[in-house]
Amino acid sequence: MSARIAVYPGSFDPIHNGHLDIIARCRPIFDEVVVAVLRNEEKRPLFSVEERTEMVAELVGGDGFCRVESFSGLLVEFMERIGARTIVRGLRAVSDFEYEFQMALMNRRLNPRVETVFMMPREDYSYLSSRIVKEVFGFGGDLAGLVPPTVLDRLSGRLGRRDPPA
């Protein structure tokens, strides 16, 4: 029997506890998860793809279950190269579903052997996104319990710490 390899793709700009929760939920289901960091400069990321890959690897790499790679282009082509057949996507709210459903159907059309599995993070993280993390941090909000300390350190190094608005 071949290994059940799943790919969890995203920008991870930056990774947060909702992402880590999804990865943890994959452990009993898959033999290996490849966290695939998207190389897409059109999104104008805060962190470079190398920084994002390193950040994710610091948090989940090295245990034999999870590895981190970057990719560009079509996800299904990346999956073919690494021998994966399952895409893992997190759904925070109903509003995520329409876009994710369209992407799942397109990926299936591009490669009928690819399946998409939708997972929900813990309720504590159901509203959390990388965009919100950056916005809250930028306005001096408290992100304790929402991102790992190493991510807070990197945000501070990149954005500096701002005081909350008066």
Is 19 a catalytic site residue?
A: yes
Per-residue exposure over 23-43, b if at least 16 CB sit within 10 Å of its own CB, e if not: bebbeeebebbbbbbbbeeee
The SS3 assignment for 117 reads strand
What is d(CA 150, CA 90) in angstroms, rounded to the nearest whole number? 22
Query: Catalytic residue among 4, 39, 85, 92, which?
Result: 92
Query: Catalytic residue among 19, 25, 52, 154, which?
Result: 19
Query: Catalytic residue among 43, 81, 131, 158, which?
Result: 43
Is 95 a catalytic site residue?
A: no
DSSP state, 46?
S
Query: Catalytic residue among 16, 52, 89, 130, which?
Result: 130
Is 92 a catalytic site residue?
A: yes
Is 43 a catalytic site residue?
A: yes
DSSP β-ladder status, 5-10 and 66-71: unpaired
Q: Which residues are catalytic?
A: 19, 43, 92, 130
